[in-house]
Amino acid sequence: MSNYKILAINPGSTSTKIAVFEGETEIFKKTVVHDAAELAKYTTVADQLPYRVETILAVCKEQGVDISDCAAFVGRGGGLDACPGGTYAVNDVMLAHARRGGGNHPASLGCQIAQKFAEQYGVKAFIVNPPDVDEFQDVARVTGLADVFRTPSSHALNQKETAIRVAADLGKTYETSNFIVAHIGGGVSVTAHCLGKMIDSNGIINGEGPMAPTRSGALPAVDLMNLCYSGKWTRDEMYKRLTKSGGFVDHVGTSETLEVVDMIKQGNKYAKLVYDTFQYQIAKEIGSMAAVLKGKVDAIILTGGIAHDKELCANMKEYVGFIAPIEVRAGEFEMEALSSGAYRVLTGHEEAKPYTGEKVFTNFDALKN
């Protein structure tokens, strides 16, 4: 085993996750929660770059880790154009797109920070399976309106890493396996992974699929249209209700799953109905992805923070265990995923892709002649 040292960086809205690995061994992992007043000093996320770099250096010093001998630096991607999954070498096109398209998306800093360190120490910088991954098959894109298309938005980084791990545990490879991966956390994405590609998934940003702690999930279209034109809500208010104060928050006033479970233990029947519905909707989405894979499913994988709930996992087995064996990988493996992607490239098990910014999908006009 080659003990390449890798620094992984995952900038979030209110935190920066930092980890150092040697080979596949974790040296340390830490999440720095940023003071809101400190972040408020910066007009845009891009302005935070020096502050985030200083934070990372301070943490590494605190941990007694010298990053000058790192073989690579890897950051969370974001703010890019849609692209296939994989590990990407940071290049000028990616940096330009991250600065242009990232706006106030903190993940867009990932490639910029990684490149800054890589240039300083003369090594490579990478990103791995950014939120912009798009591997949809064509039939997954079409809707009942000719000018509305489905686009993916899922937990690609954690989903693919989890699928790679389960495939290895089953003595297979990700590229020769069919999985349904359900990331069950603050957001819920359920995805059909077919021979190494995420060919269909509910779009969590666009309001598809199951409800989540803060998201409404799919709603009856005409009823939603009537709400939007009722005069009770502005566009921004409705967007917030759908994406930040929907789901558990709208029903029972909290986004914390443990609080919902505690309400149920105290006899709150409505909280139980909501949580049961949450699980029911996830199971339905898993069933739909089984149809996408034509029933050829090697395993159903449950991941994300809420997958720690053993009763939920047992209920999923009762609902969809007839489809395929259920593998539970609770939590998230994003830092491991970042390091593993870079490690696979460094060890020659994967070739880094060049980011071109070429459109994965535009529309189907060419077929309408």
Give the per-residue pLDDT at 43: 87
List domains and CATH numbers for the chain. Answer: 5-134+335-354 (3.30.420.40), 156-331 (3.30.420.40)
Task: Of 155, 316, 187, 354, give the one whose Cα is nearest residue 255.
Answer: 187
Give the per-residue pLDDT at 76: 93
Q: Which pLDDT band, with edges at 50, 70 and 90, does 104 fall under?
A: low
Give the per-residue pLDDT at 300: 98
- Given a cut of 90, whether residue 54 has pLDDT beyond it is yes
Give the per-residue pLDDT at 102: 54
Give the per-residue pLDDT at 149: 95
- Which tens digit of pLDDT belongs to each residue from 206-242? 999 999 999 999 999 999 999 999 999 999 999 999 9
Give the per-residue pLDDT at 106: 86
Q: For 165, how many CA atoms within 13 A lie in the half-sphere containing its CB?
A: 22
The predicted model gives 138-149 an average pLDDT of 95
Give the per-residue pLDDT at 2: 75
- Which tens digit of pLDDT belongs to each residue from 347-369? 999 999 999 999 889 888 888 86
Give the per-residue pLDDT at 365: 84
The predicted model gives 276-289 an average pLDDT of 98
The Cα angle at residue 266 between residues 264 and 267, in degrees rounded to 5: 65
The predicted model gives 35-49 an average pLDDT of 89
Cα–Cα distance between 67 and 70 in angstroms, integer?
A: 5
Give the per-residue pLDDT at 272: 98
Q: Letter for the amino acid at 42?
A: Y
Report how many helices (DSSP H) and strands (DSSP E) the chain contains, helices first. Answer: 12, 12
Whole-number percent of the chain with pLDDT over 90: 86
In three-state secondary structure terms, 30 is: strand
- Which tens digit of pLDDT belongs to each residue from 146-202? 999 999 988 999 999 999 999 999 999 999 999 999 999 999 999 999 999 999 999
Give the per-residue pLDDT at 101: 62
What are the respective helix, strand and coil percentages of the chain, to the nearest 5?
40, 20, 40
- Which tens digit of pLDDT belongs to each residue from 233-267? 999 999 999 999 999 999 999 999 999 999 999 99
The predicted model gives 333-344 an average pLDDT of 96
